[in-house]
Amino acid sequence: MLNVRETGVNFIERKFAEYYADAFETVSLPSSFTQREFGFIPFTEKIMIRHKGFTAPEEFMTFITSITPAHAYYSAAYYEDPEAPMAKKGWIGSDLIFDIDSDHIPTPCKGEHDYWICEDCSTGTSQSSQGNCPHCGSGKLRKEFWLCETCLELAKAETLKLLDFLITDFGFQQREIKTYFSGHRGYHVHVDREGVKSLDQAARKEIVDYLLGTGLNIEFHGLKRTHRTAEWRSMGPTLSDSGWKGRIAKGVYDFLLSATPQQLEDLEGLTKTAARRVVNNRDRILAGGGNSAPWGVVKGVGPKTWETLAMNGVKKQASMIDPVVTMDIHRLIRVPRSLHGKTGLKAVPIPINFLEKFNPLTEAVAFPEGQLDVYVTEAPAFRLGSGVFGPYRRERVELPMAAGIYLLCKRAAKDARRPS
């Protein structure tokens, strides 16, 4: 008798092997390829095969087709000897990298597609019934991200925001920046430029702090109190200012444009009276926002209120990168165009100009042909390729190959054509 899980895994492994043999292109392998460390997670073991180095793309191809990994990574770092133990590798430098993961972004739909997988019986469930598996009662449930258009859209918007920081504030050239869909729930951004390679951890932390707006003092960014006649007035930054000044103005402006009276009242540090005054004068404030204000044009809205609104603006404008990834100078990152073992999707390089139009749910599909007959344990509705599927519960369905493989990768289904 075949184990349910192994049946699905063997099939995915075979399809991944076909992909690496027929469709994988080595053109997108990283620069200075021979100085990088590579790591692979096989389907059958959880342990990563790492400290691998390659002298030529062909050698990489031979290796990847011989082991067919569930995940393939390379180091953002360059080493004298990538195969040596960590301490003896001889660190030369590292690309500057950023990770934007929808898991770190507060999206409105999380509750709708929260999903758990039982470590003991592999049942997938959207109902964790007080943290236990509804099938076998096990308490070992692993939370899984379910492909979601809204989450991926928001991750993309965050990536565009990050690119604006990198190009406008840091002055990087478009051609020095590479953007990738991760194959799962977010995007990676790499800066490949000589000057950044030698940055140590402390320098990278400075970059992270800037992007997060950490420790930002509003008074140094244009929100000054000036004494005029008998009244205190706030002269704030404007939309056309550069750097964080302009970003703060934009954060305040965008918030005032869309906030409900309730959202204003809920803002920590804002009194009810002040919130009401802002609401009542919203149009006047926004009308001044084009070039000069929105600051200080309303009587009775004082510096304290503006400061609260400004700090909220900082929060909205900050980049939602994963700080740990950027600060780690030995980080392993996914090999472009390799397959993601949790989805069966490709890690896709995206030209910056194309990012806005990029749709991961169609562009990242690695298996566009064929159908697959699967038995689905449980799956919420999801969109992939040009179709919408599910929800399914303990049923046999014929799906386009990519959707079938996705469910197998999530261990939410098994290959129905084989005995179990």
Shortest CB 343 distance to Zn ion, Å? 15
Shortest CB 164 distance to Zn ion, Å? 23
Contacts of 164 (CB under 8 A, 6+ apart): none
Is residue 118 close enough to count as binding Zn ion by CB under 5 A?
yes
Is residue 381 close enough to count as binding Zn ion by CB under 5 A?
no
Region from 62-70, 81-89, 147-155, 232-240 binding Zn ion, contact rule CB under 5 A: 147-155
Q: Which of residues 151-190 bind Zn ion (CB under 5 A)?
A: 151
Is residue 109 close enough to count as binding Zn ion by CB under 5 A?
yes
Nearer to Zn ion (CB atom), residue 78 or residue 146:
146
Region from 79-87, 108-116, 247-255, 362-370 binding Zn ion, contact rule CB under 5 A: 108-116
User: What is the C-alpha separation between 135 and 123, in angstroms, rounded?
Assistant: 7
Region from 28-36, 87-95, 141-149, 339-347 binding Zn ion, contact rule CB under 5 A: 141-149
Is residue 135 close enough to count as binding Zn ion by CB under 5 A?
yes
Shortest CB 132 distance to Zn ion, Å? 8
Is residue 310 close enough to count as binding Zn ion by CB under 5 A?
no
The single residue among 4, 147, 148, 274 that binds Zn ion, judged by CB under 5 A, is 148
Letters for 61-100 (x = contact with Zn ion by CB under 5 A, - = none) are: ----------------------------------------
Nearer to Zn ion (CB atom), residue 153 or residue 254:
153
Task: Kindly state the tokens that stand for 246.
Answer: 């302009």
Shortest CB 119 distance to Zn ion, Å? 8
User: What is the C-alpha separation between 129 and 157, in angstroms, rounded?
Assistant: 34
Is residue 312 close enough to count as binding Zn ion by CB under 5 A?
no
Is residue 136 close enough to count as binding Zn ion by CB under 5 A?
yes
Nearer to Zn ion (CB atom), residue 151 or residue 408:
151
Shortest CB 24 distance to Zn ion, Å? 29
Task: Kindly state the tokens that stand for 84.
Answer: 């040596």
Is residue 150 close enough to count as binding Zn ion by CB under 5 A?
yes
Is residue 128 close enough to count as binding Zn ion by CB under 5 A?
no
Q: Give yes or no for a contact between 25 and 58, defined as CB atoms under 8 angstroms apart.
A: no
Nearer to Zn ion (CB atom), residue 139 or residue 195:
139
Is residue 132 close enough to count as binding Zn ion by CB under 5 A?
no
Query: What sign does the CA torsion over 103, 109, 113, 117 have?
Result: positive
Nearer to Zn ion (CB atom), residue 35 or residue 123:
123
Region from 2-10, 47-55, 75-83, 121-129 binding Zn ion, contact rule CB under 5 A: 121-129
Nearer to Zn ion (CB atom), residue 148 or residue 321:
148
3-state DSSP of the chain: CCCHHHHHHHHHHHHHHHHHHHCCCHHHCCCCHHHCCEEEECCCCCCCEEEECCCCHHHHHHHHHHHCCCEEEEECEEECCCCCCHHHCCEEEECEEEEEEHHHCCCCCHHHHCEEEECCCCCEECCCCCCCCCCCCCCCEEEECCCCHHHHHHHHHHHHHHHHHHHHHCCCCHHHEEEEECCCCEEEEEECCHHHHCCCHHHHHHHHHHHHCCCCCHHHHCCEEEEECCEEEEECCCCCCCHHHHHHHHHHHHHHHHCCHHHHHHCCCCCHHHHHHHHHCHHHHHHCCCCCCCCCCCCCCCHHHHHHHHHHHHHHHCCCCCHHHHHCCCCEEECCCCECCCCCEECEEECHHHHHHCCHHHHCECCCCCEEEEEEEEECCEEECCEEECCEEEEEEEEEHHHHHHHHHCCCEEECCCCC
User: What is the C-alpha separation between 263 and 279, in angstroms, rounded?
Assistant: 10
User: What is the C-alpha separation between 396 and 416, in angstroms, rounded?
Assistant: 7
Nearer to Zn ion (CB atom), residue 124 or residue 404:
124
Letters for 3-42 (x = contact with Zn ion by CB under 5 A, - = none) are: ----------------------------------------
Is residue 126 close enough to count as binding Zn ion by CB under 5 A?
no
Instruction: Determine the size of the site formed for Zn ion (CB under 5 A).
Output: 13
The single residue among 70, 133, 347, 405 that binds Zn ion, judged by CB under 5 A, is 133
Nearer to Zn ion (CB atom), residue 108 or residue 215:
108
Shortest CB 33 distance to Zn ion, Å? 36
Number of neighbouring beta carbons within 10 Å of residue 72 = 26
The single residue among 138, 280, 292, 420 that binds Zn ion, judged by CB under 5 A, is 138
**Site residues for Zn ion per CB under 5 A:** 107, 109, 118, 120-121, 123, 133, 135-136, 138, 148, 150-151
